[in-house]
Amino acid sequence: MSNEIAVQHGVASHEVHEHHDGHHHHETFITKYVFSQDHKMIAKQFLITGIIWAIIGGLMSVLFRIQLGYPEATFPWLEDIFGHWAKDGKIQPEFFYALGTMHGTILVFFVLTAGLSGTFANLLIPYQIGARDMASPFMNMLSYWFFVLASIILLSSLFVQTGPASGGWTVYPPLSALGDASQGSKIGMDLWLVSLAMFVVSSLLGGLNYVSTILNMRTKGMTMTRMPLTIWALLFTAILGLLSFPVLFSGFILLLFDRHLGTSFYLSDIVLGGNILPNEGGSPILYQHLFWFLGHPEVYIIILPTMGLVSEVMSINARKPIFGYMAMIASMFAIALLAFLVWAHHMFVTGMNPFLGSVFVLLTLLIAVPSAIKVFNWLTTLWRGNIRFTPGMLFCVGFVSMFISGGLTGIFVGNSTLDIHLHDTYFVIAHFHIVMGVSAFMGMFAGVYHWFPKMYGRYMNNTLGYIHFWVTLICAYVIFWPMHYEGFAGMPRRYYDYSGWESFKHFVELNRVISFAAIVSFLVQLLFVFNFFYSIFKGRKVTTLNPWNANTLEWTTPINPGHGNWPGEIPEVHRWAYDYGKDGKDFIPQTEPVSKDESTH
Amino acid sequence: MTWTEYFVIIIGVLIFVVIFQIAKASEYVSVLKGEKKAFQQNNRINAFLMLVFLVLGLAAAWWCNKLLYKKTLLWLPSASEHGEKIDTMMWITIAITGIVFFVTQILLFWFAYKYQATEKRKAHYYPHNNKLELLWTAVPAIALTVLVSFGLYYWYKITGDAPKDAMEVEITGHQFGWEYRYPGKDGVLGRQHYRLTDAAKGNPLGQDWNDVANHDDLHPSELHLVVDKPVKLIIRSQDVIHDVGLPHFRLKMDAVPGTPTTMWFTPKHTTAKMKELTGNENFVYEISCDQMCGSGHYSMKGTIVVETQEEFDKWINSQKPQYVTAHPDGAVAVAATVAPAAADSVKAAAGTGPKSEH
């Protein structure tokens, strides 16, 4: 190779320049912490906003689990806080449905999309490809502030008289289109739509930046196939978002038209509470197609970045290269491609043409193949490793376990024949919470624990991390595993109370156990939040540049890098990111030139 | 707030503080003991917990199954022929995914335990192996092909055309209940239009009284079906999307305003038989709304009675046509004057259900 003799500028220079990284221009509090254009700061802004949303969204699930676990009980303190929404200390149906809807919206979009991609794409893309910042730092800042705008609008909808949207996070019309059909379909629904429209803008601004940065701003020697899998994952994620969010946006605009301009895109033949509506010729199914054209890629927008994070953290802590790097990229590519071709598997029982359904069965089960490849590759990465159980690594193992459990149940619901029975039951709740809720959170936690030292120059507390992991893992299975059984009983989701049903009322004790585990799980997440904020200020300080002995470029920057990341020149890259345990060496950083006697793979 | 609630909060905060202090102390201990030694000890503990989790997890899964299996429908014979196909498919899928589940989870936690960091061993540099990749691309692909083939074979059987002798019944959802309409003696459901709906004038389903086929249509408050006789449901909604969920028959179909859908099946067991099979004296076939439809969604219940032909005939003969209810005086006179040709139109509107992706 021609670059074998090249001098390692990066590695040499950071040692020299470490003590005087203050040559960047002067920053005020506002430009540094509020309207920052530094990718690192924007990443932290996304993360902390995401954490705040996660607490709100998690608390909502605790509230509706109280209703499901204790349908007969009354809690006067609920009325003290929520007034008529919890009349006589009992959560009212409208409130219950609003909580569920907001829980879904917040967790799917605000936490696991913005909070996850926003954090790690911003943090890792410039660091790991060797760039000083994003392609457009200003657009990056806009992306965050549009997210804040969306957040404020959604938050405000919680305080309007008729309450927030309550038709489920998918907001299917006609329920969401007609204010008379539900309290939540009044002003709360408009706020929801406007908020999500702002969210789409934020997402697109971010996504454009991620793609252009990855394609154009890689440092010398950083070919595409030398990029860490995190970057590949974030690239596919950004492309998915760019292609599918606009479709969701159009769906929302049409819904707004139907709500306010008298159009009939989604409405036809409706008699609501005795009133005959004039709309004819529309189809509510059209909305479902538009929604799921994003909605399905959306679950991969959530899970792909965590697949990247887990691959990276796992390889570092197993002290072994990720097994099948090219297969990992290929399978992510296959997942990203197929993600666009499976949306209608959410609609098998809408009356959709059965032939069309069968095409979507085929494509849906096809997507299980690349998913399986990834799982086997992770298992092989662990095999004959030398595993360090940092909190990040523990969450990687948890991620794989959850991804297997939730992925396998996807084979049930993706097969239209079984979906007829299981559709919209607790089986589905168990499936997607495990595969894209808990899994994604596990991957995100792995990322937060692992890159916290890079973000704040301090470590998080390990013991709290261990407790956080083990309690979360156990609670996740206690909550969601038995839900499969409720699904096998045909128990429908989104029911406020099952006591009136001969077919479902015998699960009342189980629901109580699940609710209890959900509350414990929520409290343990608070422990994490505490650990996070405490460690920002009081955590053990990082004293070495490369605390995990990792290969990637972010660990060649100073412990607390300034804007621009590297004080001197950006280091050059000579190899892929996964030379762990090669030729008897524990690790070989990407900046190290390939030596003559090195073995090839 | 009551004193007990304050007490619970105080206890919670105390537990939190204790956990935090322990965590803080363990950090100091690790500094005192030397980071390396502390790391090794923690690593051993976590690796061991991986093994413990695997063993206890498998035991818990077995225990959970023991407690809950009888509460599901898995052990109970399906109440429809379609449902039997779905059950067969379910068991095949449970078997295949179950094997994969146990193998991969055991490997995962076993590897995590077995390959915990020690000074003695170096990690094995093993970046790729194309044969292995090919193997675990091919095997899942084959397994999934089997599942897709079975699945689609059954899917087409279930969603295919209803038999000619199937009884037609219309079921209409609205916030928050179900309405049923039987075609009456002529076997034809009369024409309807949503703009004709007028509950106050005895026409909650928008039936067109100019269509003679409507004159004998029945509008009972319960759905009665005949055992072993195929039935085709024509599913409508008046307001928002609902869903006819029939857990015991393993079936489900959305009710979409503006787009009628259909679903057919053959009930296998009478309600009386199901009472025996379940051992539940109160057993009843329930229709659950399975698509979020508003604040009363959870209470949108219908009931089905499956009975013998004689029982059914007796019941249906006791029902009065809705036309008579809507026209308490002089109904018959109007009926005689309306053109009979209109009767066919409804078959075209309602009979094309499964393929009606407009």
Beta strand B167-174 with B177-181: parallel, antiparallel or unpaired? antiparallel
From the CB of residue A585, how many other CB atoms can be counted at a distance below 10 Å? Answer: 13
Query: Nearest-CA residue of chain B relative to A422?
Result: B250
C-beta separation of A373 from B137 below 8 A: yes
Q: Which residues of A touch B100 (CB under 8 A)?
A: 404, 408
Average pLDDT over residues B110-126: 92
Mapped onto helix, strand or coil, the DSSP state of residue A308 is helix
Residue whose token pair is 């509950």: B199
| H or E element at residue A134 | none
Q: What is the mean pLDDT of chain B?
A: 89
Burial class (CB in 10 A: 0-12, 13-18, 19+), A538: exposed
Average pLDDT over residues B252-280: 95
Q: What pLDDT score does B332 carry?
A: 53
Average pLDDT over residues A164-184: 95
Q: What pLDDT score does B339 carry?
A: 44
Of A283, A361, A400, the CB nearest to B152: A361
Both tokens of A450, joined, read: 């692992």
Q: Is the pLDDT of residue A346 over 70?
A: yes
Q: Cβ–Cβ of A77/B12 closer than 8 Å?
A: no
Q: Is the pLDDT of residue A9 over 60?
A: no
Which residues make up the CATH 2.60.40.420 domain(s) of chain B?
A: 167-355
C-beta separation of A411 from A368 below 8 A: yes
The C-alpha atoms of residue B311 and residue B303 are separated, in whole angstroms, by 17
Q: Cβ–Cβ of A93/B295 closer than 8 Å?
A: yes
Q: Is the pLDDT of residue A7 over 50?
A: no
Q: Cβ–Cβ of B154/A417 closer than 8 Å?
A: yes
Q: Is the pLDDT of residue B334 over 60?
A: no
Both tokens of B324, joined, read: 């008579």
Query: Nearest-CA residue of chain A relative to B76?
Result: A489
Of B111, B125, B282, the CB nearest to A581: B125
Q: What pLDDT score does B32 carry?
A: 85
Q: Which residues of B touch A276 (CB under 8 A)?
A: 194-195, 197
SS3 per-residue string spanning chain B:
CCHHHHHHHHHHHHHHHHHHHHHHHHHHHHHHHCHHHHHHHHHHHHHHHHHHHHHHHHHHHHHHHHHHHHHCCCCCCCCEHHHHHHHHHHHHHHHHHHHHHHHHHHHHHHHHHHCECCCCCCCCCCCCCHHHHHHHHHHHHHHHHHHHHHHHHHHHHHHCCCCCCCEEEEEEEECCEEEEEECCCCCCCCCECHHHCEHHHCECCCECCCCHHHCCCECCCCEEEECCCCEEEEEEECCCCEEEEEHHHCEEEEEECCECEEEEECECCCHHHHHHHHCCCCCCEEEEECCCCCCCHHHCEEEEEEECHHHHHHHHHCCCEHHHHHCCCCHHHHHHHCCHHHHHHHHHHHCCHHHCCC
Residue A545: CB partners within 8 Å, gap ≥ 6? Answer: A14, A555, A556, A557, A558, A559
C-beta separation of A455 from A40 below 8 A: yes
- What confidence category does residue B8 fall into, taking pLDDT thresholds of 50, 70 and 90? confident
Class at the top of the CATH hierarchy for domain A30-584: mainly alpha
Of A385, A388, A500, the CB nearest to B301: A500
Q: What pLDDT score does A597 carry?
A: 82
Q: Is the pLDDT of residue A248 over 80?
A: yes
Q: Is the pLDDT of residue A2 over 70?
A: no
From the CB of residue A4, how many other CB atoms can be counted at a distance below 10 Å? Answer: 11
The C-alpha atoms of residue A202 and residue A210 are separated, in whole angstroms, by 12
Does residue B280 or residue A11 have the better pLDDT? B280
Q: What pLDDT score does A347 carry?
A: 95
How many angstroms separate the CA of residue A563 from the nearest CA in chain B?
A: 32
Q: Annotate A96-109 with DSSP letters as a single string.
A: HHHHHHHHHHIIII
The percentage of residues in chain A with a pLDDT greater than 70, rounded to a whole number, is: 96
Q: What pLDDT score does A32 carry?
A: 83
Q: Cβ–Cβ of A421/B71 closer than 8 Å?
A: no
Q: What pLDDT score does B346 carry?
A: 43
Of A269, A384, A461, the CB nearest to B126: A384
Query: Nearest-CA residue of chain A relative to B244?
Result: A349
How many angstroms separate the CA of residue B229 from the nearest CA in chain A?
A: 21
Q: Cβ–Cβ of A271/B356 closer than 8 Å?
A: no
Q: Is the pLDDT of residue B239 over 70?
A: yes
Q: Which residues of A touch B115 (CB under 8 A)?
A: 318, 382-387
Query: Nearest-CA residue of chain B relative to A279?
Result: B258
The C-alpha atoms of residue B205 and residue B182 are separated, in whole angstroms, by 12
Of A354, A397, A490, the CB nearest to B155: A354
Cis status, amide bond into A589, omega within 30 of 0: no
Q: Which residues of A touch B274 (CB under 8 A)?
A: none
Q: What pLDDT score does A199 carry?
A: 97
Q: Which long-range contacts (CB under 8 A, 24 or more apart) does B270-276 make?
A: B270/B227, B270/B306, B270/B307, B270/B308, B271/B304, B271/B305, B271/B306, B271/B307, B272/B307, B273/B227, B274/B79, B274/B248, B274/B306
Q: Residue B179: name the closest of B242, B233, B222 by CA.
A: B222
Query: Nearest-CA residue of chain B relative to A272?
Result: B239
Q: Residue A162: name the closest of A97, A241, A117, A212 by CA.
A: A97
Q: What is the mean pLDDT of chain A?
A: 93
Average pLDDT over residues A255-263: 96
- Write the pLDDT tens digit of every residue in B148-162: 999 999 999 999 999
Residue pairs between chains A and B whose CB atoms are closer than 8 Å: 392
Q: What pLDDT score does B321 carry?
A: 92
Number of C-alpha atoms within 13 angstroms, CB side, residue A37? 12
- Write the pLDDT tens digit of every residue in A400-457: 999 999 999 999 999 999 999 999 999 999 999 999 999 999 999 999 999 999 999 9
Q: Which fold has domain B167-355?
A: Immunoglobulin-like (2.60.40)
Would the CA dihedral through B79, B82, B88, B92 be positive or negative? negative
- Of the residues A366, A387, A426, A467, the best mutation for testing chain B's interface (the one with the most B CB atoms within 10 Å of its CB) is A387
Beta strand B177-181 with A271-272: parallel, antiparallel or unpaired? unpaired
Q: What pLDDT score does A27 carry?
A: 76
Query: Nearest-CA residue of chain B relative to A525?
Result: B16
Q: What pLDDT score does B342 carry?
A: 43
Return the DSSP state at A581. S
Average pLDDT over residues B154-183: 95
Q: Cβ–Cβ of B295/A268 closer than 8 Å?
A: no
Of A17-21, A97-101, A154-158, the range with the lowest mean pLDDT is A17-21
Q: Which residues of A touch B96 (CB under 8 A)?
A: 411
Would the CA dihedral through A496, A500, A501, A502 be positive or negative? positive
Q: Which residues pair with B265 in a beta bridge?
A: B231
The C-alpha atoms of residue B242 and residue B228 are separated, in whole angstroms, by 27
- Of the residues B133, B192, B285, the best mutation for testing chain A's interface (the one with the most A CB atoms within 10 Å of its CB) is B133
| H or E element at residue A272 | strand A271-272
Q: What pLDDT score does A366 carry?
A: 93
Q: Is the pLDDT of residue A187 over 80?
A: yes
- Write the pLDDT tens digit of every residue in A133-143: 999 999 999 99
From the CB of residue A597, how many other CB atoms can be counted at a distance below 10 Å? Answer: 6
Q: Is the pLDDT of residue A377 over 60?
A: yes
Query: Nearest-CA residue of chain A relative to B195?
Result: A276
Both tokens of A234, joined, read: 């974030």
Q: Cβ–Cβ of B357/A372 closer than 8 Å?
A: no
Q: Cβ–Cβ of A387/B112 closer than 8 Å?
A: yes
Beta strand B231-237 with B167-174: parallel, antiparallel or unpaired? parallel
- ipTM of this model? 0.92
- What confidence category does residue A601 fall into, taking pLDDT thresholds of 50, 70 and 90? low
